[in-house]
Amino acid sequence: MERREDFAALIQRLDGKDVELILRKHRRSRSRNQNAYYWGVVIPLIAEHCGYMDEEMHEALKWRFLQKHDGPLPTVRSTTDLDTAEFTEYIEQCRILGAEMGVVIPGPGEVA
């Protein structure tokens, strides 16, 4: 929006055409390091303890912590839609659940 004249000219050129403009705060999606820690440490440790395959464990954890209730039936958010803060919170929920089951999951800074 710093170049208002250019924006105004663009709007004028689009006159009469169907246009949708979405303005929202930028969110940083989960990081590669977060994802690597989740799939390389958190998921395998809990999955082994529970006797699940990694993908099954991932789905079970999403169902436990990422449910949405904004319709007639609950749905589950995808971890790919989480920003860095939300993914950090989700991982911490998974670690707490693991601890409650007796699974020691090292923190991200404790993994080599």
Token representation of residue 76: 């589950």
Global pTM exceeds 0.85: no
Distance CA 88, CA 38 (A): 10
Domain interval for residue 67: 28-110
Residue 34 included in any domain: yes
Residue 99 in domain: yes
**Residue-level pLDDT, tens digit, the chain, 112 residues:** 577 787 777 777 777 667 776 665 656 666 888 999 999 999 999 999 999 999 999 999 999 999 999 999 999 999 999 999 999 999 999 999 999 999 999 998 887 6
Token pair of 96, please? 């707490």
Assign residue 13 a region (left: φ > 0; alpha: ψ between -120 and 50; beta: otherwise).
Answer: alpha
The pair phi, psi for residue 64, each rounded to 5°, is: -70, -45
Count how many domains the chain has. 1
